[in-house]
Copies of this chain bind each other. A is one copy, B any other.
């Protein structure tokens, strides 16, 4: 089967985003937020069937790890209480999708992060997502300030309580920022990729996996700039006196295939061990158009993986095997269904 590790609910019924606007307006005005609106099962079903499910099927994939819209997490907006309510609403909506389409979507939660707020405060929502909603992972924002980078690096002990819970629950985290409130950074064209690059280099500098050998982090968007500059990172690790990357970080770090052209995927599979690559498309998401050079959607990443020169065994790891290993709760759910 083909598991897409990276999809966001970018097509949620419009009252969901409208309520978010009302929530933030109420926060600004010092009023309580209005009640969350009614959304019918039909509306949820329709928002998925004509979009992600249709494209998933058309492209021959089987299941998407589905999380709330990343750019709308907006951890920099409002305050902690606002983020708590919003994260809960977003995760509950994901749960409805996974209940309506259990064969095609597994849940990945967003966290109620807020700048300056201890990450320990996100642990209860992580536990709720995994233990009550049946989610198999979460998205962790390394920069809840939205492009001002005011938090400590991911290797700082401030993050440790969260890593301990991830390990206890045996779920990985995808390192994924949200929108940018810094006008230097276009979210999709700069902030996302910069965050991927930044997170990886923090891991090279530190020794997070010496401390937490059971921690697994997915770095999306093909690892940002990292595979393209793989020689730079190999050289920097040596200059910093760190072990080689395969021993130091690549037992715990995974890159997805959200790289939207064949040469990029060719490079990714050429320099990164297939054990460290997870199929992903971020569909429907960052780049929605059709590539005039190919006639296919930019984010139809299955075409690139199929077109890349890797062995069938490596391709099977990228499409399925790695996901089952990195997301053991997904594997358990699939096995319980005989898949």
Contacts and interface: CB of A to CB of B under 8 A. Distances in A.
B205 A235 contact: no
Given A197-B190, A228-B267, A231-B260, A153 B184 contact: yes
Interface string A213-247: 00000000110110111111111101100000000
Contacts of A183: 152-153
A149 interface: yes
A26 interface: no
A188 to B, nearest CB: 6
A98 interface: no
Contacts of A259: 228-229, 231-232
A207 B312 CA distance: 45
How big is the A interface, by class? Answer: 35 or more
Interface in A5-45: none
A236 B184 contact: no
A153 B186 CA distance: 10
Given A193-B229, A263-B267, A289 B186 contact: no
B143 A238 contact: no
Nearest to A304: B231
Contacts of A184: 142-143, 149, 151-153, 198, 202
A298 B239 CA distance: 11
Contacts of A221: 229, 232
A57 interface: no
A267 B271 CA distance: 12
A184 to B, nearest CB: 5
A286 interface: yes
A119 to B, nearest CB: 15
A228 B228 contact: yes
18 contacts: A148-B148, A153-B183, A153-B184, A188-B236, A189-B232, A190-B201, A197-B225, A221-B232, A222-B229, A229-B264, A230-B261, A230-B264, A235-B260, A235-B291, A236-B287, A239-B287, A239-B289, A264-B267
Given A184-B202, A189-B232, A236-B287, 8 more contacts: A148-B149, A151-B184, A190-B194, A190-B197, A228-B228, A235-B287, A235-B299, A267-B267
